[in-house]
Structure 1
Amino acid sequence: MRADLEWGTVAELVQRAGARFGGREAVVGPRTRISYEQLAQRVRRAAAGVMAAGVRPGDRVGIWAPNAPDYVVAALGAVSAGAVLVPLNTRLKGGEAAELLRRTRASLLFVTANFLGVSYISALRAAGPLPDLRATVLLGETEAVPEGLLSWRGFLAAGADVPERSVLERVAAVRPEDPVDIMFTSGTTGLPKGAVTTHAQTLRAFGAWADLAGLREGDRYLVINPFTHTFGWKAGILASLMRGATILPQPVFDPESVLAKISTERVSVLPGAPTVYQSLLEHPSRAQHDLSSLRLAVTGAAVVPLELVHRVRDELGFATVLTAYGLTESCGMVTMCRRDDEPDTVARTSGRAIPGVEVRVRDADGKDQPPGMPGEVQVRGYTVMREYFEDPAGTAETFTDDGWLRTGDVGVLDADGNLRITDRLKDMYTVGGFNAYPAEIERVLARHPLVVDSAVVGVPDPRLGEVGRAFVVPRGTPSAAAEDELIAWCRREMANYKVPREVVFVPELPRNASGKVLKGDLRAR
């Protein structure tokens, strides 16, 4: 039976997983071990807290925090109460996060106190008022709670007056066609756009992901991919709930701690960007850890060298290594390799379209390209988003006249239907698994008094896959320290993965006859 038909909604999935898997471990953190039965109960309590905060079905609830057990409970509690989850990337600056909360008119926010040395509370307060926000809940166990915020315990206590019957009625009232989340990405303008997806399409997509990957009951899944991204939230949390796998949240990727956790927690499933596996392979203490439990690796977001696929299998011991391709506008799912594919297929392509989804490659004139010829990758099927949140113009631009999603990626299909991504029409590049959008970065650079014009491109990096290089037309003659000063300024103004690692000052940017910057020329430099 299809996952969307079997569970209907994420709210029902949580409760039925609690009954089905009972005492099996659902979520394991540094100081907590939560069974499936306990998780279902805690999610009901969190849903009661959401209801007590005055959140109505369809209201947006933001969450800005790293991977942790409380994140799982809070996110599932919000959608179980009929709210639409708005995950915020942990690398965003306060102003960036606040802007997304304002645009979605979020009525409730779950937030961590500090992460990677940054006070999220201070950052938000410095970003100005959030007029629609009714309550802000501080996740985790904290002794001192800033004025105006609710502690996690206080939030749960506030929901104690909501009858269990009312919570179950709210859970039952959520419909498969209701939106479950708004995942923000960036369009070609650089303005973040919120892709709206439903409970039904999310469940069906990641039921398919779990089937193709071979995720199974009893797997112990170390989730390195951020819960704030589609992969961590849906392929991590939701897929695990469908199969009865144990979720082990990992807030920050650190090779030493990951190797230790694989050994002590007997991790069997470890998806991640190629840089994750490369870092584990190169770590000097790898041989000191027992990695024999590893079974399933799923990667993507960058070209995977054939040698790396072999090393992940032979040296890390994964029986299955898969690659996949997706984008936020399609629930993160478009194509995926199959478990019996040859290593060369896994390394060379991102696999074939998942069941129920179609992929085509078209040239600039809208004609289908034959196998082996590049063109824009376009997608049609149940995974495709319903819309960009309150952006009908942006939504219309993203679809062809005959209803296909324009991905903006350039790819090639082979004779067997395997897709290979060769370039990006949108010039997006991937920094250690995070998507960076040049237009967004260029908009920030334009605010600096030194910058007259700029263009950002992705360039190869041995550790992160790609990093940004900014070509800047300066105002006047830049000083010897100008590059370092501009990069330092960028670190204060944008998430770290967006920050260009190099600045090249140029007298002018190369442009074509219509005035468009020739980024291919810049990459060639």
Structure 2
Amino acid sequence: MTWDSVPRMVLSAADRFGAAEAVVDGPLRLTFVELAERVRKAAGAFASLGVEKGDRVAVWAPNSAQWIVAAFGLLTAGGVLVPVNTRFRTAEAHDIITRSGAKAVLVQQGFLGTEFTGPRGVPVIDLGSDFLDSGTPFERAVSGSDVCDIIFTSGTTGRPKGVLMSHAQNLRLFAEWCELADLREGDRYLIVNPFFHMFGWKAGLIASLIRGATILPVPVFDVDHVLDLVERERVTMLPGPPTLYHSLLAARAKGGRDLSSLRAAVTGAADIPVELIRRISEELPFRTIMTGYGLTEAGTVTASRPGDSFDDIATTVGTPCAGLQVRVADDGEVLVRGYSVMLGYLDDPAATAEAITPDGWLHTGDLGTLDAEGRLRIVGRKKDMFVVGGFNAYPAEIEGFLLQHPAVAQAAVVGVPDARLGQVGKAFVVRHSPVSAAELIDWSRERMAGFKVPRTVEFREELPLNATGKVLKDRLR
């Protein structure tokens, strides 16, 4: 079955799945019929707010039923979704909200003890208010080629760039994702991946509504809460970073938890131990495990397939999705071409032209190799990005913050191994004036999201530079 837009797909779920549970969020339980009704009312609320076709609205809030209704309601009103990372500090979020031209920002006041604000002139709407229920049922025509969402990502410049994706791109790619990940009608899908990320929004919410799976949103990862939900709600689908599966294995070792309902696992990271994949398969009830590779600018690019060995699943990211081509350039960079490559970067034609070649190849910034069977192996990050507990951290952006400190003359950040989070940041700093490592780390916590804050600081008299003045980060590593 195909649809011409995400709203048509979402609203059709009322007819396709009826009284089955669509969302379970604490005491709130919505059927697919009830979800569609709430989405239409939310669309009316956005229309009353003055949202016209193509207008952008930001959602800066944790996973919840209200986030789901807000996002799909906005799209149904013809708007464009701008998800904002809940870990961002005010200045980081305001930059994205301002540059996106958002007409409003929806927040969950009090989340993690935060009172969320908007840039001057941008209305702030609390998802805990009655706003989403205040509209008259409404739907505006949207086509597949219209922009659906703008997810901001960072690159080597360190400044987040808004990635434009259409309704048709999202629907086609994540319908295939459902097949690859073994997501089925009636599945109970616990979503720990944040909705502000492609994994939570597209491989989570859009995929669930395509398939008819029950969504169980988790706002903050807490292993005991997740285990309680798995038991009580008989969760079948549980994607997440490798750290999630380490937690499940530890819980199983302790005993006393019923994990028997779990069937499908999906994970991904640059380097997953083969032993972890083996243990997930042999010690946990999962019957399918998928790993893959994706990026905001192209969605899910490759995925493992049923029958792949533990070694293949752990050490490669599988083969390209249908309609996508992958090749490795002479310098080792992974290039992607096909229908899911972004429409471009928001208001940045120069960056778009730099990222996408005239014949349609997207520069991913990642380094990789292809084996004889066409499986992709990611061997490094051209952009020096590192992943902290599932969150992408970009050294150039962190360095830009550090250089704002009056005592910092030069800064270079690299990812270093961490037993719990996979990687964390380490900063190498040349000082103008006295400052301690603890002072610099505390200063950083006030200005950037926790996952970006360097865990350690090493002071140097100078940084190793090449002939053009670029820091030689390999030496620092």
**Which TM-score tier does this pair reach, normalised by the shorter chain?**
over 0.9
Quick one: which of 303, 306, 321 aligns to 2:289?
321
Deviations 1:390-428 (A, max 9, x none): 100110110124320000000011000111101111000
Percentage of pairs with the same residue:
54
- CA distance in structure 1 between the partners assigned to 2:31 and 2:424 by the alignment: 40
User: What is the correspondence of 1:370-519 to structure 2 with a 5 Å cutoff?
Assistant: 375-478=332-435, 482-519=436-473
Q: Is the Cα contact below 8 Å between 2:70 and 2:132 reproduced in 1?
A: no
Q: Is the Cα contact below 8 Å between 1:185 and 1:328 reproduced in 2?
A: yes
Q: Is the Cα contact below 8 Å between 2:180 and 2:290 reproduced in 1?
A: no
Deviations 1:73-94 (A, max 9, x none): 0000001111010000000001
User: What is the correspondence of 1:23-422 to structure 2 with a 5 Å cutoff?
Assistant: 23-121=19-117, 124=118, 128-129=119-120, 131=121, 133=122, 135-140=123-128, 151=129, 153-157=130-134, 159-160=135-136, 164=137, 167-168=138-139, 170=140, 173-283=141-251, 286-331=254-299, 333-364=300-331, 375-422=332-379
Question: What is the letter of the counterpart of residue 118 of structure 1?
Answer: T
CA positional deviation for 1:450: 1.4
Deviates more, 1:346-355 or 1:272-281: 272-281
Corresponding residue for residue 9 of structure 1: 5
Call closer, same or farther: CA 1:398–1:221 in 2, change over 3 Å: same
Question: What is the letter of the counterpart of residue 298 of structure 2?
Answer: S
- CA distance in structure 2 between the partners assigned to 1:138 and 1:115 by the alignment: 11
Deviations 1:19-72 (A, max 9, x none): 110000000011200000100010000000000000000000100100011110
Report the TM-score when normalising by structure 2: 0.98
CA positional deviation for 1:120: 1.8
- CA distance in structure 1 between the partners assigned to 2:69 and 2:394 by the alignment: 31
- CA distance in structure 2 between the partners assigned to 1:209 and 1:154 by the alignment: 33
Deviations 1:238-281 (A, max 9, x none): 00001100000011111111111101110000000111111222
Q: Is the Cα contact below 8 Å between 2:24 and 2:214 reproduced in 1?
A: yes
- CA distance in structure 2 between the partners assigned to 1:49 and 1:302 by the alignment: 42
- CA distance in structure 2 between the partners assigned to 1:390 and 1:341 by the alignment: 42
- CA distance in structure 2 between the partners assigned to 1:18 and 1:520 by the alignment: 54
Unmatched tracts of structure 2, length 5 or more: none
- CA distance in structure 2 between the partners assigned to 1:27 and 1:477 by the alignment: 53
Report the TM-score when normalising by structure 1: 0.89
Q: Is the Cα contact below 8 Å between 1:324 and 1:351 reproduced in 2?
A: yes
Question: What is the letter of the counterpart of residue 437 of structure 1?
Answer: Y
- CA distance in structure 2 between the partners assigned to 1:512 and 1:13 by the alignment: 53
- CA distance in structure 1 between the partners assigned to 2:49 and 2:337 by the alignment: 39
Query: What secondary structure, in the 3-state scheme, does the structure 2 residue paired with 1:194 have?
Result: strand
Call closer, same or farther: CA 1:411–1:266 in 2, change over 3 Å: same
Query: What secondary structure, in the 3-state scheme, does the structure 2 residue paired with 1:488 have?
Result: helix
Corresponding residue for residue 370 of structure 1: none
Q: Is the Cα contact below 8 Å between 2:408 and 2:433 reproduced in 1?
A: no
Call closer, same or farther: CA 1:256–1:285 in 2, change over 3 Å: farther
CA positional deviation for 1:285: 7.5
Q: Is the Cα contact below 8 Å between 2:41 and 2:132 reproduced in 1?
A: no
- CA distance in structure 2 between the partners assigned to 1:310 and 1:463 by the alignment: 19
